[in-house]
Amino acid sequence: MEIGILFNNRILDIIFISWSLAQGFKIITHLILKKRFKVSLLWATGGMPSSHSATVTSLATSVGLIKGFSGVEFALAASLASIVMYDAAGIRQAAGKQAEIINQIIEKFYKNTNVPSGSEKKLKELLGHTPIEVFAGAILGIVVAFLMKGYIV
């Protein structure tokens, strides 16, 4: 298999566009809500909209547009999308909340003792998504795939 084939895969192009738009919207959302421009959000997890959701729904929708929405291929892609979105809104969000609590416990510990805090890094708290962030990402991925339908079909 030639590596060039990967760069000629139009579904991968659409997935990348969906991911890029979602990550770009995170910067815009942060700018509007927090009044700060934060370019590092281009590589961040969590936030509005979910790039995970945008990616997997653009994949599923693109597969459906090419192979049909009643085929095995779409069923596989839609199942993957469901698992990823459930994980983003459920498990990863819970892990982020746990990280926030652990960070608070560690901060309290160092404030209430004479132990120097040293160089402990805080755990990353923004890991998952709220259901609305997942929904927004999913809609973004579907819209991108439909807008790019002429490119893939």
User: In 3D, which of 54, 49, 65, 48 has the Cα closest to residue 10?
Assistant: 65
* Residue 31 binned pLDDT confidence (cut-offs 50, 70, 90): confident
pLDDT digits (tens, 9 = 90+) for 48-89: 889 999 999 999 999 999 999 999 999 999 999 999 988 887
- 3-state secondary structure string across the chain: CCHHHHHHCHHHHHHHHHHHHHHHHHHHHHHHHHCCCCHHHHHCCCCCCCHHHHHHHHHHHHHHHHHCCCCHHHHHHHHHHHHHHHHHHCHHHHHHHHHHHHHHHHHHHHHCCCCCCCCCCCCCCCCCCCHHHHHHHHHHHHHHHHHCHHHHC
Number of domains comprising the chain: 2
Same domain, 23 and 75: yes
pTM value is 0.75
Same domain, 59 and 134: yes
Residue 43 has pLDDT above 80, yes or no: no
For 105, the domain range is: 91-127
